[in-house]
Amino acid sequence: MKKLTSMVLAIALLLCCFSFAGAEEAVNLELMLHKSEVVDIMNVMADAFHEEYPNITVTVNQPAEYATAIQTRVLSGDTPDLFTWSNDQSWYAYFRDGYCVDFSGMEWVTGATNEAAREMITIDGGLYGLPYMQNAWGVLYNVDLFEQNGIAIPTTMDEFWAACEALKAAGITPIELTDADAWTTFNVFETLFGLYSADQAALFNAIADGSGSATTDESIRKVAEIFVKLKQYAQPDPLSTSYTDGVTALANGQAAMLLNGTWAYTLVKAAGEANISCFAFPAETAEATRVRANVDLAFSVFKDGKHQEECYTFLQWMIANAQKFVDMEGSVNLVNGVVNATPAFDVFAQFATEGRTFTLARNQWKSGTNTVIQPLTQILRESDDVDSFLADVDNEVKLHYAE
């Protein structure tokens, strides 16, 4: 009897050992997410991933003060496994200081994502983020107002001004400018600056070292002149019109165009019944036209994390299931082969596929330059004085770059 009992215990112990050997270690990954508007979608993705990989749980964390939260975690040595960010140079220090994994040698990243987007977030030769979502800046327009007045989508600057003239002649406000919110005013200037500048950093570097001046540079003068001309086709007193006012005006058919980004589309659709789509703000020629785009969501992995392989497994799954994500979220996705879910963004997706995009000028300038240029754009909106604006740019850039 004792011998039988010993044998049963031995078999049970052996089976137990096999059971533990065969079980995969349970891993919990923390993903810190910077975009509050996609928390629910990311949770759906995390749950679906867990169904396929039951030993890996992804917990999505979206703190209110995101940048501060990341900084605190880094300084305390308690970094999350993964975090997301949008392309802004305020994040570059983490990459330059060696906190994050460089994806540049990983074929599963470089072979699966948009090349122009990867170049956009390549820092000193390293690719420290997996580009996943993109926003774009362009023209949101009322399709019916264009069609009712026989106006084709403009593909050159001359065609754009002709469209504005035709709308104005029909008694329609061509453009709703939203200059009460300074960030929208600056966005118009910044986009024109990128569209008409071959090198977005060169002019301000030249101003700083004394070898150049905004007052003699043809490209920034052209930008300022276009910026001023836009007001001729806008509602009265655009400095009293907020971003929310502009969204409402376009949604209700009070204006034909709004100069803003893809992020405004959902708000416009929710605010009224107008038939809205988008087109690229044109350059002098159709061939020269490019779209200001920015990586709106990239995934990064901290080097000191204990579960890097599981992080890679999750990111590979996110690539493989990008269509599921974009069908819920709607933005232009940066994984190759994904079909755009928002027809209004097809034009931006096409420009991205063709590599005809440019990134934010502020990421090419010395950090913080946008904060000194932004108020100057509102002054220009009010004064229409191009020469004074260019002289002010010289002064402010010299002071800021000397700090």
Provide the β-strand partners of residue 137. 261, 292
- In CATH, which of 3.40.640.10, 3.20.20.150, 3.40.190.10, 3.40.50.300 is domain 27-134+294-342? 3.40.190.10
Q: What is the pLDDT of residue 44?
A: 97
Half-sphere exposure of 183 (CA within 13 A, CB side): 4
- In CATH, which of 3.40.190.10, 3.30.470.20, 2.40.110.20, 3.10.129.10 is domain 136-292+360-402? 3.40.190.10
Q: What is the pLDDT of residue 355?
A: 87
Structure-block tokens of residue 328: 């819920």
Give the CA-trace dihedral at 135, 136, 137, 140, to 10 degrees: -90
Question: Any idea which residue has 């200081």 for tokens?
Answer: 97
3-class state of residue 286 by DSSP: coil
Question: Of how many residues is the chain composed?
Answer: 403
Q: What is the pLDDT along the chain (403 residues), one digit of tens a residue?
A: 444 444 444 444 444 444 434 457 899 999 999 999 899 999 999 999 999 999 999 999 999 899 999 999 999 999 999 999 999 888 999 999 999 999 999 999 999 999 999 999 999 999 999 999 999 999 999 999 999 999 999 999 999 999 999 999 999 999 999 999 999 999 999 999 999 988 889 999 999 999 999 999 999 999 999 999 999 999 999 999 999 999 999 999 999 999 999 999 989 999 999 999 999 999 999 999 999 999 999 999 999 889 999 999 999 999 999 999 999 999 999 999 999 899 999 999 999 889 899 989 998 999 899 999 999 999 999 999 999 999 999 999 999 999 9
Domains 27-134+294-342 and 136-292+360-402 share a fold: yes
Report residue 381: phi and psi, to 5°: -60, -40
| Integer Cα distance of 231 and 272 in angstroms | 24
Q: Which H or E run contains 261? A: strand 255-261
| Integer Cα distance of 315 and 311 in angstroms | 6
Instruction: Please answer whether residues 308 and 379 qualify as being in contact, where contact means their C-beta atoms are separated by less than 8 angstroms.
Output: no
Q: What is the pLDDT of residue 219?
A: 95
Instruction: Please answer whether residues 277 and 143 qualify as being in contact, where contact means their C-beta atoms are separated by less than 8 angstroms.
Output: yes
Type of residue at 9: L
User: Beta strands 291-301 and 130-142: pairing type?
Assistant: antiparallel
| Integer Cα distance of 289 and 28 in angstroms | 46
Q: What is the pLDDT of residue 353?
A: 87
Q: What is the pLDDT of residue 7?
A: 46
| pTM given for the model | 0.85
| Integer Cα distance of 143 and 151 in angstroms | 10
List the domain boundaries for the chain: 27-134+294-342, 136-292+360-402
